[in-house]
């Protein structure tokens, strides 16, 4: 049986990228699945940017370290938004737990040292892979409140090899 660790070793050799970058990209796919599984959050935000192009249209052309979103509607207060993101991470853990090598995933509000000029919301997502003693893999989820969605978003199947 091929393990997740074996797959990461293979991709590292094949694509010539770091172990950490592959783990980050893998984590992003599960966080994205978790966000989709929280209907209230999924209705509020629209996936965008380079990672969206990769995960929705092209597949394995690059690896990613963050998820970028714009808002469809006004976001709830910060406490509610944080609860929704924590719920998305819990859903990601539950979805991923069907595999023999489940991750431990946590979500924390990212506090800027200075207020973001465009009121962007951000979260730090950390994961502990089965071979790690503590959460060592970190990615970001960023939600822009100043970049309006002008077209009707398309629903696409995520490409996650």
* DSSP structural state of residue 146: S
> 121-128 and 137-144 as β-strands: parallel, antiparallel, unpaired?
antiparallel
For the stretch 32-62, pLDDT in tens is 999 999 999 999 999 998 888 888 888 777 7
Give me the residue spans of the domains in the chain. 18-119
pTM of the model: 0.90
C-alpha span between 131 and 64 (Å, rounded): 21
User: Where do the DSSP E strands lie in 31-157?
Assistant: 45-48, 66-71, 104-109, 121-128, 137-144
The pLDDT tens digits of the residues spanning 89-147 come to 999 999 988 777 889 999 999 887 777 667 789 999 999 999 999 999 999 999 998 88
From the list 120, 79, 86, 95, the residue with the least C-alpha distance to 26 is 95
DSSP code at position 130: T
156 contacts 56 by C-beta, under 8 angstroms: yes
């Amino acid at each position: 049986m091929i393990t997740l660790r074996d797959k990461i070793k293979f991709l590292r050799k094949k694509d010539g990228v770091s172990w950490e970058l592959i783990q980050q990209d893998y984590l992003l796919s599960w966080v994205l699945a978790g966000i989709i599984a929280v209907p209230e959050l999924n209705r509020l935000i629209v996936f965008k940017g380079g990672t969206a192009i990769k995960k929705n249209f092209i597949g394995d052309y690059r690896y990613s370290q963050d998820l970028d979103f714009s808002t469809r509607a006004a976001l709830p207060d910060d406490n509610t938004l944080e609860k929704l993101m924590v719920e998305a991470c819990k859903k990601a853990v539950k979805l991923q737990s069907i595999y023999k090598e489940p991750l431990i995933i946590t979500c924390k509000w990212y506090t800027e040292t200075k207020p973001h000029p465009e009121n962007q919301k951000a979260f730090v997502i950390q994961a502990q892979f089965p071979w790690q003693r503590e959460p060592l893999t970190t990615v970001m989820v960023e939600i822009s409140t100043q970049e309006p969605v002008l077209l009707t978003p398309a629903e696409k199947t995520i490409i996650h090899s």
